[in-house]
Structure 1
Amino acid sequence: MTQTASLETALQLIVAAGKTATAGPLAGLVAAIRPRRADDHDHPVNTLRSLAFLLNQRQDYRRSLREYLLELIGTRRQLHLYTDTGILSNEGLWSAFVRRLGEKLLPAEYRDDYLKDVLGKIFSRHDDYLWVQAVPDTVWLEVWRAMRFDEGSHGGDARNTRLELIEAAQVLSFRISAIGLEPELVRNHPAIEQFESPFLTQNVALRDYLECYKARLIDASALHEDDSHVRILLGQCEVIITKLRKTAAQEGVSISLTYLMVRLQQHIARLWLVLDLLAPEQGSRVPILAVQFCKQLVEADNRKTSLRDLFSNNTDLLALQITEHAGRTGEHYIAGNRAEWKSMARSAMGAGLIVGFMAILKILTAKLKLAPLIEAFAFSMNYSLGFMLVHILHFTIATKQPAMTAARIAASIEQHGIKGEDRLDTLAGLIEAVARTQFIAILGNVALAIPTSFAIALAVKYGLGEVWVTPEKAHHLLHDIDPFHSLALPHAAIAGCCLFLAGLISGYYDNKAVYNRIPERLMQLGWPRRLFGEARWQRACRYIENNLGALAGNFFFGIMLGSMGTVGYLLGLPLDIRHITFSSAFLAYSAVALDFQLGWEVWTLSIVGIVLIGLTNLAVSFGLALFVAMRSRRIRFVDGWALTRRLLRRFVRAPQRFFIPPKDQAANGGT
């Protein structure tokens, strides 16, 4: 069937329907306009222009479609379409998640007397909004004008729609007042209580405006009052929301606070739009406003059960704060000059020393043959307490750096916009500094983990005359780091995911410490002050404030590493972890256990395996952390190839700078 023929068939069904305004005929017309593929934007444009041509040529089509639409809209409850569609409810994030998940499995009840349900039936495909938005507004306006709403008398229908919009404005205004007085908002912006709140006064101003507006609907000679005062107050509400977001940068944020701010912004934006549709001076712009509003409503209805949209809209500020805290930590993991580079080397070597002892403790724990869950707990505590000790002693685990430095790089991309040669140079200099810092951190870890393990193994074997690592265990450890005959690299990728999650956990708890004012609340406890003394307890609280995130990240990182193998065993899946520093320590213990009788092939495979495990740890954790950091800032990196070429030129010109900073290197890590 040709394009015009399918349109005429749909229009004839509308003519036959008369004023029996069920959704079916209009759904058929939309189906004739809808492209087979959502990305085919030419088809709906051409079809809509054909529709406009038919309406201009055929008065019966024009009159029937116009009366049908007015009857369809006028006989249904419009309020919920204007106040609910595309706006979060007051149920909270997790309740909204459960409801949307339930509606995915079992659709909500369809009610024909509600216009919002009729809209969902007409635009029934989940991707309809793609082609609806892709059609230019001017094309939709051609169809609007072709229907010639100025023909005939439709005052009653127009008045009914205005009354629905008036009621919608009242509902939106009351909700704005209620959300604006939520304790969590007041807590983060106390000025709302100190001064007259615009969230309350906008409701009073709107009520006065709408009373005058309704009076003019009855008597055209009644006093006219514009909505300028309401708009000024709504602008003040938006200023407060902006201040709340800025405050969150210092005071922290929670999912519930973000949810409230998103709801508040949605209600204010919708009230702006309703006021525009009601304003008499906007008469000439009503068609274009209606088209834009319809596009929003179609998208909102199509995406009403989307779980991804729910979380992306309501966790963006929390994700930003988590990555911001991680980014501030990441600044300490970037050596900008020779002195910082040497300091990082010493810090990494200290961590390597501790890892040597942690590795033998894991081997000894495995020899106990504990029950799976008890063994997982023992492994987890070994890792967790060891990593926390590394942090307390100001040492550095190399593989923890990428999750932190990625947020710092993303912040640099956002700050400089990645446009222009100078800005590319700045970012290239930062990546160069990160690379050499990462190199010396890994080198420091491995350089002391291996000799420490050698020393422990030799002391046990020849000093105590005991065997802690049997030849069978040694062969097993060597097999585990073989990159070609074992799952070493997939397990290293799992460790990289754990490193990434540890970075997020660290940022989350840093944000939590600030937002929940944990140090200040700890200071109010009486018994620790009496037990430790006021000054000591105050120092302890300050330490918790500055280190809670790092300690929590290390603790949970240890649990993930220690329990991954047990989780795999319980699920029957080949899950485990491989970490470069521990792998190098296990190589040392294996070599001593086998009296260094390793062939060159084994040495080569083991060394290559350790290098590849390290690269996989770094690549996975850095890639995931950079992705989340950029998504949380809603930025796109568009000059990747240009930056890659710049880095290659730098490497060819001075490769040593990717490993050792020059003596005169500036402290900011620039060029």
Structure 2
Amino acid sequence: MEAILRDMTTTSSETRAFELLRDLIDAIRPRDVNDAQAAINGVQALTYLLEAHVEYRAALRAHLLHLLATRRQVSLYTDTGVFSNESFFSALVKRIGHRLLPPVFNPASLKDLFGAMFHRKNDYVWLEAIPREVWLDLGRSLHMGEETDQDSINQTRLQALEAAQVLSCRLSAIGVEPEIIQNHPDGDRFESPFVRQNVETLAYIEGYRQDMIEKRLPDEDVKPILVLLDQCEAFVSRVRKSAARNGVSVSLTYHLLRISQHIERLRTVLLLLDPASSPEKADLMIDAALTFVRAENRRYALRDVFAENTELLALQVTEHASHTGEHYIADTRAEWGAMFRSAAGAGFVVGFMALFKLLIGKAHLPMLLEALAFGLNYAFGFMLIHMLHCTVATKQPAMTAARIAGAIHQTTRQGKKSVQLDTLTELIVKVGRTQFVAILGNVVVAMPVALLIALAWKYGVGTPVIDADKADHLLHDLNPVASLALFHAAIAGVCLFLSGLISGYYDNKAIYNQIPQRIAALPWLNKLAGEARTFRIARYIENNLGALAGNFYFGMMLGVIGTIGVLLGLPIDIRHITFSSAYLSYSEVTYNFGLDWQVVLVSVAGIALIGLTNLLVSFSLALWVALRARRLSLVNARPLAGKLFRHFLSRPGDFFVPPQPVAEGEKQDAR
């Protein structure tokens, strides 16, 4: 490190400024980016050398100021860490393209030089681990007031003014986007703060430049612009609240994100330009530098684009799924019994769906037509189950996980941790017993219904629905050891999870695009069906579009995945607990109730494990997405494990059957 500083004292800043600064950063960088102490030691060693040697800090100042004065800085301030004027999908494609074929390095751009100095993809890790006090000590050790090159500083200020102008103009343009105005409760009632901040900023920049031309200290006041930026943030907050009620789109989320980024960056640039001295400036410079490093290190990261741009949309999708999940939670014994009856109705329909699936397989249709027929059988069957107000047990986890995440989100904003844990424990116990009775209703009805259908078919047609080879194949698929049953059950769990997201997405889409209102206003439908019936149709679509869409896509996924596996030569397929139980009944009739008890036992165990895998995979994925959408993690739910375990030891029956309601007199005695 000292050798590099010594080279700076003997080398002109016009020849090797970039190379020497890059070497200095390489010397400070720890071998292990997670070794915070090594990073701190490196910065402190540089601070000591600069304080101890006047010539070292003078040379480092000269190289830094020369690099700032001779390179284009505007793009570093306006583009680094800020999304450009393009759609979410365009940004995604652009990042993929840049990862495959990085853009050409431009030595005249400070942005490119900055990225080349911090060229390791995880440099931001060790830089952010260094305490603020250590960075402030390093800044003081430079003694920027000693023999400062005023021309270089003025050149930097001019480029910062240009960056402020670009940011302000972009902010005003995004703020008046039609989608932003339409989603603001009073969008057309008041003058836009985005336009007014642009007027104030341009006036500020012009006055600042004039002061610099006349070589006097700028005395422009930045406070009015900061007030307007606060108003812009309040505007964005109102749009987000409106979106929570009326739905959201990817493009609206992208606009809101870009507005927030531009407000934050413009505020930083203006505060750094403000001639009034402030102790906050040093902190702002540190924060800006760390932001630039992180952005440059992760400029090709696809995960960041997804995480930042879909956050609000994911929250809305899981919120809608959460509201749907409330219908899948039984509080009382009456609701528990109603859930059993609802699940039994679904089991009855599944018995016939399994029959149609087996008959389609016997038809030996062309592969793609067979996949389409399988998918439509599942899709229309699941949609019919929903329209009959019945319940498929495995559809519950994707909905109830969002409900649990919503409960965590609501209670963590309160201060009572014990109440939070108790409430969440009771909610999860309710979800568990509702899930248990739903599975029970599906299976105990699907199996006998399938058995009766198989017997009726055998005695009516003269032959079983399936032959012995097909029965052997179905029984083999139920064996959790000899087949890939659990892997295929996990794939079905992923499909269940996706169907939950699709349901929430279409519910959000119906609200955001005002689909029910537009249907109710269709002239030809009103003329054909009448206003009252049209209104009922619109209301039904408003309340059921998401569920119908989720069931349709879920069915199509179940139908085509096996064919996709055959076409690709991959061992992928699906296993669903309710259909698996029906297939066992069809196989039993084929063998005229002559299956070995060991085969039946293994098949029943396989059905149970398939159901458990269906539930665990779909629930885990749905809970993870719901927590991420609320900026939470599984750590927030970790204390629940102990509560649930103690509850199970003390009252295990609560996980299967709701407790008897406590009479009023018993409540008073308990008090």
Compute the TM-score of the two structures, normalised by the length of structure 2.
0.96
SS in 2 for 1:148: coil
1:332 maps to 2:339: no
The separation in 1 between residues aligned to 2:540 and 2:652, in whole angstroms, is: 40
| CA shift digits 1:595-620 (9 cap, x unpaired) | 11111101110110110000000000
In 1, Cα distance between the equivalents of 2:281 and 2:233? 24
Alignment partner of 1:480 out of 477, 481, 490: 477
Matches within 5 A, 1:283-294: 283-294=278-289
Separation in 2 of the partners of 1:99 and 1:638?
A: 34
User: How do residues 509-520 of structure 1 correspond to structure 2 at under 5 angstroms?
Assistant: 509-520=506-517
Distance (whole Å) between structure 2 residues aligned to residue 567 and residue 638 of structure 1: 37
**Deviation digits for residues 36-72 of structure 1 (CA, Å, limit 9, x no counterpart):** 1110111121111111111122222121111111101
Given candidates 2, 9, 32, the residue that maps to 1:8 is 2
What are the ranges of 5 or more consecutive residues in structure 1 without an aligned counterpart? Answer: 1-6, 667-671
Report whether the alignment pairs 1:28 with 2:34: no
SS of match in other structure, 2:187: helix
Which residue identity is paired with 1:625?
A
The answer to whether structure 1 residue 299 and structure 2 residue 270 are counterparts is: no
Out of 499, 513, 528, the residue aligned to residue 502 of structure 1 is: 499
CA distance in 2 between partners of 1:217 and 1:287 (Å):
23
Aligned to 1:432: 429
Q: Which of 152, 171, 180 matches 2:175?
A: 180
Cα pair distance change 1:427/1:153, threshold 3 Å:
closer
User: Quick one: distance in 2 between partners of 1:249 and 1:651?
Assistant: 37
Of 626-635 and 535-544, more deviation after overlay is shown by 535-544
What's the CA shift for 1:638? 2.8
Equivalent residue for 1:387, pick from 378, 382, 390: 382
Given candidates 542, 556, 574, the residue that maps to 2:553 is 556
- Per-residue deviation at 1:223? 8.6
Mapped to 1, the partners of 2:460 and 2:404 lie a distance apart of 49
Name 1:38's counterpart in structure 2.
33
1:116-131 superposed matches below 5 A: 116-131=111-126
1:336 touches 1:665 (CA, 8 Å); kept in 2? Answer: no
Partner of 2:668: none
| d(CA) in 2 for partners of 1:251, 1:171 | 32
Q: Which of 159, 162, 166 pairs up with 1:171?
A: 166
- 8 Å CA contact retained: 1:276, 1:282: no
TM-aligned CA deviation for residue 22 of structure 1: 4.0
Shift of 1:193: 2.2
Contact 2:253–2:310 under 8 Å retained in 1 = yes
Query: What is the aligned partner in structure 2 of residue 317 from structure 1?
Result: 312
Change (3 A) 1:657 1:665: farther
**Quick check: 643-652 or 463-472, which moved more?**
463-472
Gaps of 5+ in 2: 664-671
C-alpha distance in structure 2 between counterparts of 1:260 and 1:520, whole Å: 25
The residue aligned with 1:538 is 535
Give the alignment of 1:319-398 within 5 angstroms: 319-398=314-393
Higher mean C-alpha displacement, 109-118 vs 566-575:
109-118
- SS of the aligned residue for 2:595 comes to coil
Residue in 2 aligned with 1:114?
A: 109
Deviation, 1:105, is 1.4
* Cα distance in 2 for residues equivalent to 1:650 and 1:62: 65
Question: Do the aligned residues in 2 keep the contact of 1:388 with 1:551 (CA within 8 Å)?
Answer: yes
Say if 1:665 and 1:118 are closer, same or farther in 2 by CA, change over 3 A.
farther
Query: Pick from 544, 547, 558: which aligns with 1:547?
Result: 544
Equivalent of residue 524 in structure 1, options 513, 521, 524 = 521
Between the aligned partners of 1:606 and 1:139, the Cα distance in structure 2 is 65
For the pair 1:258 / 2:253, whether they are aligned, the reply is: yes
Q: Distance in 1 between matches of 2:225 and 2:662?
A: 57
SS at match of 2:398: helix
- 2:134 is paired with a residue of what secondary structure? helix
The alignment's C-alpha RMSD in Å is 1.6
Q: Structure 1 residues 66 and 22, CA, compared in 2 at 3 Å: closer, same or farther?
A: closer
Offset at 1:222? 8.1
In structure 2, the partner of 1:659 is: 656
CA separation in 2, counterparts of 1:635 and 1:523? 39
How far, CA to CA, are the matches of 1:232 and 1:141 in structure 2?
28
SS of corresponding position for 2:145: coil
CA distance in 1, matches of 2:42, 2:116: 21
Q: For the residues of structure 2 that align with 1:161 and 1:339, how far apart are their CA atoms? A: 73
Shift of the alpha carbon at 1:639? 5.5
Aligned ranges 1:194-273 → 2 under 5 Å: 194-219=189-214, 224-273=219-268
Moved more, 537-546 or 206-215: 206-215
Q: Report the 3-state secondary structure (helix = DSSP H, G, I; strand = E; otherwise coil) of the residue aligned with 2:33.
A: coil
Residue 149 of structure 1, CA deviation:
1.3
Equivalent residue for 2:586, pick from 580, 586, 589: 589
Task: Tell me the matched-pair count.
Answer: 660
Kindly provide the CA deviation profile for residues 281-337 of structure 1, in whole angstroms up to 9, marking residues without a partner as x: 244433332122111111111111111101111000111111111010000000011
> Who is 1:644 aligned against?
641
After TM superposition, give the deviation of residue 476 of structure 1 in Å. 1.4
How far apart are the structure 1 equivalents of 2:209 and 2:444?
A: 81
**Equivalent residue for 1:3?**
none
The answer to whether the aligner puts 1:568 opposite 2:577 as a matched pair is no
Which string of whole-angstrom CA distances, capped at 9 and with x for unpartnered residues, describes residues 611-670 of structure 1?
00000000000000000000011012436553212111111111111111013179xxxx
Residue identity in the other structure for 2:645: L
Q: State the AA in 1 paired with 2:240.
A: R
Letter in 2 for 1:171: V
1:391 to 1:282, Cα distance in 2 relative to 1, 3 A: farther
Letter in 2 for 1:328: H
Q: Which amino acid aligns with 2:615?
A: L
**Cα distance in 2 between the residues matched to 1:244 and 1:380:** 40
1:622 has 2:619 as partner: yes
Contact 1:327 1:406 in 2 (8 A): yes
Work out the CA distance in 2 between the residues paired with 1:510 and 1:606. 38
Paired residues of 2:479 and 2:602 also in contact (CA < 8 A): yes
d(CA) in 2 for partners of 1:289, 1:317: 28
Q: Work out whether 1:85 is the aligned partner of 2:80.
A: yes
Shift of 1:422: 2.2
Change (3 A) 1:481 1:388: same
Give the letter aligned to residue 203 of structure 2: D
Amino acid at match of 1:18: S
Structure 1 residues 438 and 261 mapped into 2: Cα distance closer, same or farther (>3 Å)?
same
Deviations 1:72-119 (A, max 9, x none): 111111111111111000021111111111111111111111111110
Q: Give the residue type in structure 1 aligned to 2:3.
A: T
- CA distance in 2 between counterparts of 1:135 and 1:585 reads 61
In structure 2, distance between residues paired with 1:480 and 1:636: 36
- Cα offset for 1:219? 4.5
**What SS does structure 2 have at the residue aligned with 1:194?**
coil
Q: TM-score, normalised by structure 1?
A: 0.96
Moved more, 613-622 or 290-299: 290-299
User: Residues 502 and 557 of structure 1 are in contact (CA less than 8 Å); yes or no, is this contact kept in structure 2?
Assistant: yes
Q: 1:152 to 1:426 in 2, by over 3 A?
A: same
Asked if 1 retains the 8 angstrom alpha-carbon contact of 2:408 and 2:637, the reply is no
Q: 1:523 Cα deviation (Å)?
A: 2.5
Query: Are the equivalent residues in 2 in contact too, given 1:478–1:590 (CA < 8 A)?
Result: yes
